[in-house]
Structure 1
Amino acid sequence: MTAFTLVSDAIADSERTARLYAGEIIVFRQVPAVKTLIATLAEHVTAHYGEDPTRVHTRWSVDAVHDEAEALRKAVAKDPAVKARVNEMFEAVGVDLATTYGDGLKQRVQPPKQDAEGRYLAPLGAHRDTWGSNIMAQVNWWAPVWPIAPERTLALFPTHFRREVPNTSADWDFAELLRRIKAGENTDDYPLLPLATEPPSWEDAVPVTIEPGDVMAFSGAQLHASVPNTTDRTRFSFEIRTISGADVDAGRGAPNVDGRAPRTTYQWFKRLTDGEKLGEMA
């Protein structure tokens, strides 16, 4: 089974990405820069949802929680302080900012299952992020903002890292999704990302139970999904995906066992130092 490795020191890009591409999952424990980042994110969350945001679903309607989740994501994405804290986090764990590209931090909100409706709240089904990007050098970073539980978190399926999983990647075209969005068309019938058509059993899942202040790194080729939230608390977590430009140039990355996307979305990723795009859609 793929190993989860707990570390407290920075790891240089070449070593870290090689380990992640081989299927290792690395948790950086109690990083001061991560704590600073989540403090900034917590300020945003409470500004939008009030005090005790993990109980907001008991005070607000589902529609109100959903709409505010969209506003929260936009506010976080536009905040230069968040971008600065993200770069500080990456430097603290050994990432070379000058050669690394990211897609921007995404603030995630997941209320209890009965209230998890709509694009910004619904749990994500089993998928590999590389099914959408088609970039095998992709690395995912994930961390909670408030404490989580096995029933309120992200789950990985590490035994499926090298095992083919039937999925919709061959029929999913980001260019078509982008066209619909730009045209103002309804996209409810077009998924935001490819999904597994025959998801593995939840018995194969490994729920992630890291603490606020920890950050987990794993290959974008790792199969993962949201755990349906069966607790009485809303989950707040963040995620960001990165690409090593050096690894893309050298053709390094995780194995592609089942991704068949017709395009490669280089334009999603921008250099952490100056915002230069990794490339254009191919």
Structure 2
Amino acid sequence: MSVILANSRIDDDLRRQMIFHGDVFLYSATPASTALIGFARELIEEAFEGRDPQTAQHEMPVEEFAALLADLKPRFIHHPTSKKLIVTLMGELGMALDKTYFDVPRLRTSTADHYLDSGISYAYHAHRDCWYSAPFCQVNWWIPVYEVVPENVFALHPQYFDRPVRNGSGRYDYAEWTAVGRPTAAQHIHRDTRDQPKPEQPLDLETDLRLVPEPGGMLLFSGAHLHSTVANTSGRTRFSIDFRTVHIDDVTSRAAAPNVDATCRGTTLRDFRRADDLTRIPEELAAQYEAEALAKLT
């Protein structure tokens, strides 16, 4: 059973342990998260040139919208201000910046009424991040940029946290994805043909958990949770920010959520940088994870 904790004051070590058992943490906006979404809004509104970004999909050809996102999203992802604000935010939530590593903050969109569900604005089917080679000690962060409603957020499916789901992760190799799959995202406008790990059995996805934070509010949950993009029927494009963190002590000790069904190859650990100085995860640790994942498949 997953428990939802709102504005919990417990320390980060205990919080991570609880996340690895399936619990979910919800936090109100902080000064740093408010600054982060404010910066995102500046870039978004500049890109849309006077249009309301949340309703612009009703005024623009989908190809033009996709091209705009293909320029906007990397600008946010790679901007040094985005990373700086993420580090400040982690400090506000009591995380040890000399031991916490994070990947790049991504700007996500979910358009309404299946306007653009592919490629650059992919509507994620039910999945665990760990089917995509994420470490099982990964904590996922999700932050809405504008106001969201139950009809345009994402859903958790906590009943599957410790239940295996037959899936296609055995065909997924992270190195191949970064070389071939990810760079072609903007080319998939009307249909996404990239092979991504999906459930390969019927699931009860109607029984879901939808949390609706305020703009700048935060959800923290395990990358091992099954979750999916809600079919957006709100009439408005949802903009959100997500990123992921790992604590080096968990990486070395293998403290983590259970692996009930992932059989992918590779690891995303090389994408993570330490909060205090942006150094990468030590290569020997990433190589160990890669070797362990491969050994389990042979």
Relative to structure 1, the CA distance from residue 5 to residue 246 in structure 2 (aligned partners, 3 Å threshold; closer, same or farther) is same
The answer to whether structure 1 residue 251 and structure 2 residue 254 are counterparts is yes
Q: CA deviation at 1:247?
A: 0.5
Q: SS at the partner of 1:53?
A: coil
Q: Is the 8 A contact 1:177 1:190 kept in 2?
A: no
Equivalent AA in structure 1 for residue 13 of structure 2:
S
Per-residue CA deviations over 1:160-212 (Å, capped at 9, x if unaligned) read 1101111111111122223436998x996433x42222352232211221111
Q: Is the 8 A contact 2:8 2:25 kept in 1?
A: no
Q: State the partner residue of 1:59.
A: 59
Q: Which moved more, 1:144-153 or 1:11-20?
A: 11-20
Q: State the partner residue of 1:216.
A: 219
Q: State the partner residue of 2:71.
A: 71
Distance 1:183 1:272 in 2: 26
Distance 2:68 2:231 in 1: 20
Q: Is the 8 A contact 1:62 1:117 kept in 2?
A: no
Q: Which moved more, 1:130-139 or 1:172-181?
A: 172-181
Q: CA deviation at 1:34?
A: 1.1
Q: State the partner residue of 1:20.
A: 19
Q: SS at the partner of 2:16?
A: helix
Q: Is the 8 A contact 2:134 2:223 kept in 1?
A: no
After superposition, residues 117-136 of structure 1 pair within 5 angstroms as 117-136=117-136
Q: SS at the partner of 1:142?
A: strand
Per-residue CA deviations over 1:48-100 (Å, capped at 9, x if unaligned) read 12342101101211111111112111110221111111111111111212111
Relative to structure 1, the CA distance from residue 81 to residue 265 in structure 2 (aligned partners, 3 Å threshold; closer, same or farther) is closer
Equivalent AA in structure 2 for residue 257 of structure 1:
V
Distance 1:74 1:53 in 2: 17
After superposition, residues 46-195 of structure 1 pair within 5 angstroms as 46-51=45-50, 52-180=52-180, 189-191=193-195, 193-195=196-198
Equivalenced residues, count: 280
Identical columns (%): 30
Equivalent AA in structure 2 for residue 70 of structure 1:
A
Distance 2:183 2:250 in 1: 35
Q: State the partner residue of 1:35.
A: 34
Relative to structure 1, the CA distance from residue 37 to residue 251 in structure 2 (aligned partners, 3 Å threshold; closer, same or farther) is same
Equivalent AA in structure 2 for residue 209 of structure 1:
V
Per-residue CA deviations over 1:223-268 (Å, capped at 9, x if unaligned) read 1000011121000001001111111111101011111112223212
- Structure 2: 5+ residue stretches without partners: 291-298
Q: Which moved more, 1:101-110 or 1:127-136?
A: 127-136
Q: State the partner residue of 1:266.
A: 269
TM-score after normalising by structure 1: 0.92
Q: Is the 8 A contact 1:134 1:259 kept in 2?
A: no
- Structure 1: 5+ residue stretches without partners: none
Q: SS at the partner of 1:163?
A: coil
Equivalent AA in structure 2 for residue 139 of structure 1:
V
Equivalent AA in structure 1 for residue 43 of structure 2:
H
Q: Is the 8 A contact 1:126 1:199 kept in 2?
A: no
